[in-house]
C-alpha cells in the first residue's frame, strides 16, 4: 500500500507516525511534533496553536556550533525571530548569546538569564537613549552602530553612565542579497548601516572618545538568503576594511557577520541542514583567513523556523463559482507572512490518509481582509470541516508578528521535547486585550 506523505528534511520536528485510527484497506497517519501527537495538543489547548520542537531547535543550533568549531566564535541567536522566554532560556542554558534590536528584547533576554548580557549584541537602526542606557547597565558585549548621530548619542550615554561602550560600525557593503525586497538590507538604498566607504572616518571619530571602545566591524545584508555567494562577497569587503582599520591603528577583535541564512519554505528539503551550514561557514571564513578575529553570528530563522508549526482547524468549506475555499480559524493575525511577504508555507493535514483525494483550494482566515490568506490555488489533500491543518516552518516571524486586529486574542504556544509537552504561553483572552484601556 502507498505510504502517506511525510514532511521530508524536518526530523525530529514534524513527522507522520502511524495512527491508532484504523481504516480498512488504507494507511492513516497522524502528524507529530517530536513524539507528541499534534491532534492531542489541539484538543488540550485549542486552536489556533503554535507548537515548537525543542529537539529540533537544539539540533539546528548545534549545527552552527559544529560548522564554526575551528574558529573563535559566539552564536548570538536573533531574538526577533521568536522571542518566547522558554526558548530564550533553553538557548541561554546551552551557552548561546543573543542579538537584540530593542530594549524590550534585551529585557526578555535578561529575564530569561541575567548572566546572558555579556553575550548580547545590540543591533538596530533606531536605538533610543533609554535603550542604550539599559544595555550599558546590563554590560552588553557589543553595540552595532548604524549612523554618526547614533555614535554620538551612545558616547553621551556612556559618559553619563561612566561606562565604556564597545562598538562596531554596521557597514553597508552594497551587496545584493537576492531576496525579498522587504528583507534585503545590504544596498545603499536601504536604511541600514553606514556606507563602507565612509566607515574609516566614523571609526576615527569613535577612537577620539574615552567612553567608546572600537571593538569590531558588523555587517548584515538581509534575510532568507539561500545562495552563499552574497555572504562571501560581503565578507571579502569587510575583510579589506578590517585590514585598513588595523593599518589606521584600531584594534579590531570582532567581526559580526549577521544572520540571514535561509530555509526552504516551498518544497520538502531533502538536503542535510548541517551540510548547508557547512557551506555557509566556508563562504564566511575563506575571506577571513589570517585575520585572527572572533566571529559573531546571528542566526534566527534558520534555527527556529522549521522547528515551529501553526495548527489551525477548518471552520467551513465553501465554493464561489468554481473557486474552492477552506476557511480556517487562524488568520493573518496569527501568521502574517503570506500577506506581508507573499510567503509560501507548506500546509498539510494533521491526519493523513493514502486514500485522500487532491483538490485545489484557497486556504483563508476569518479576518475581514482580502489579504487574509495562507495559500491560493494550492493543491492539497481533501479535508473536511472540523479537521486540523498544520502550517509548517512557522517558528520564525510567526508569533512575534501576531496582532490583535479584529480584537482577536493571540494564540497559545506549546513546546514539545521528545514525549513531553508544556504550555509556554497561555492563550490571550478578550479581557487581556481590554485591560489597559481607559
Catalogue the active-site residues.
Answer: 368
3-class DSSP state for residue 306?
A: helix
Tell me how far apart the alpha carbons of residues 42 and 349 are, in angstroms, rounded to a whole number.
Answer: 13
Sequential DSSP letters for 112-180: H-GGGGGGEEE--TT--HHHHHHHHHHT-SEEEE-SHHHHHHHHHHHHHHT--EEEEEEEE------S-
The sign of the torsion formed by the CA atoms of 326, 332, 333, 334 equals positive
Distances in Å between the Cα of 202 and the Cα atoms of 120, 159, 164, 242, 328 are: 23, 18, 17, 14, 52
Query: Hey, what's the cell of 309?
Result: 508549526
Query: Between the CA atoms of 280, 286, 292 and 297, what dihedral angle is there, to the nearest 10 degrees?
Result: -20
Half-sphere exposure of residue 25, counting CA atoms within 13 Å on the CB side?
2
Please list the residues that pair with 16 across neighbouring strands.
31
Tell me how far apart the alpha carbons of residues 120 and 123 are, in angstroms, rounded to a whole number.
Answer: 9
Stated as kind and residue range, the H or E segment containing 284 is helix 273-285
Please list the residues that pair with 100 across neighbouring strands.
122
Is there a contact between 180 and 219 (Cβ–Cβ < 8 Å)? no
Amino acid at each position: 500500500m502507498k505510504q502517506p506523505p511525510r514532511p521530508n528534511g524536518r526530523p525530529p520536528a514534524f513527522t507522520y507516525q502511524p495512527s491508532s485510527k484504523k481504516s480498512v484497506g488504507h494507511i492513516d497517519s497522524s502528524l507529530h511534533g517530536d513524539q507528541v501527537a499534534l491532534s492531542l495538543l489541539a484538543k488540550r489547548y485549542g486552536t489556533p496553536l503554535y507548537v515548537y520542537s525543542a529537539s529540533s531547535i537544539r539540533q539546528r543550533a548545534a549545527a552552527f556550533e559544529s560548522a564554526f568549531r575551528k574558529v573563535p566564535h559566539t552564536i548570538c541567536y536573533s531574538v526577533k525571530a521568536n522571542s518566547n522566554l522558554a526558548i530564550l532560556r533553553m538557548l541561554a542554558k546551552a551557552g548561546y548569546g543573543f542579538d537584540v534590536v530593542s530594549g524590550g528584547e534585551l529585557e526578555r533576554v535578561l529575564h530569561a538569564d541575567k548572566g546572558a548580557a555579556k553575550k548580547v549584541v545590540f543591533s538596530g537602526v533606531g536605538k533610543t537613549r533609554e535603550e542604550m542606557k539599559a544595555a550599558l547597565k546590563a554590560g552588553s558585549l557589543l553595540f552595532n552602530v548604524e549612523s554618526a548621530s547614533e555614535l554620538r548619542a551612545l558616547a553621551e550615554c556612556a559618559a553619563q553612565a561612566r561606562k565604556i561602550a564597545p562598538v562596531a560600525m554596521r557597514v553597508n557593503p552594497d551587496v545584493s542579497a537576492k531576496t525579498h525586497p522587504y528583507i534585503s538590507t545590504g544596498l545603499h538604498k536601504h536604511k541600514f548601516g553606514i556606507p563602507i566607504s565612509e566607515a574609516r572616518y566614523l571609526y576615527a571619530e569613535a577612537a577620539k572618545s574615552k567612553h567608546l571602545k572600537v571593538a569590531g566591524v558588523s555587517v548584515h545584508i538581509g534575510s532568507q538568503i539561500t545562495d552563499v555567494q552574497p555572504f562571501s562577497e560581503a565578507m571579502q569587503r569587510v575583510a579589506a576594511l578590517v585590514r585598513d582599520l588595523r593599518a589606521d591603528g584600531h584594534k579590531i577583535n570582532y567581526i559580526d557577520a549577521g544572520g540571514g541564512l535561509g530555509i526552504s519554505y516551498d518544497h520538502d528539503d531533502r538536503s542535510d541542514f548541517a551540510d548547508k551550514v557547512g557551506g555557509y561557514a566556508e563562504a564566511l571564513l575563506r575571506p577571513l583567513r589570517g585575520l585572527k578575529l572572533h566571529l559573531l553570528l546571528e542566526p534566527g530563522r534558520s534555527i527556529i523556523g522549521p522547528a515551529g508549526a501553526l495548527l489551525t482547524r477548518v471552520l467551513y468549506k465553501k465554493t464561489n463559482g468554481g473557486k474552492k475555499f477552506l476557511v480556517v480559524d487562524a488568520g493573518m493575525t496569527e501568521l502574517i507572512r503570506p500577506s506581508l511577504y507573499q510567503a509560501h508555507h507548506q500546509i498539510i493535514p494533521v491526519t493523513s490518509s493514502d486514500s485522500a483525494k487532491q483538490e485545489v483550494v484557497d486556504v483563508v482566515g476569518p479576518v475581514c481582509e482580502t489579504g487574509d490568506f495562507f495559500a491560493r490555488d494550492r493543491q492539497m489533500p481533501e479535508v473536511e470541516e472540523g479537521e486540523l491543518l498544520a502550517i509548517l516552518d512557522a517558528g520564525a516571524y510567526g508569533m512575534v508578528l501576531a496582532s490583535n486586529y479584529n480584537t482577536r486574542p493571540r494564540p497559545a504556544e506549546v513546546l514539545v521535547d521528545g514525549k513531553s509537552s508544556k504550555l509556554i504561553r497561555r492563550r490571550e483572552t478578550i479581557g487581556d486585550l481590554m485591560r489597559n484601556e481607559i
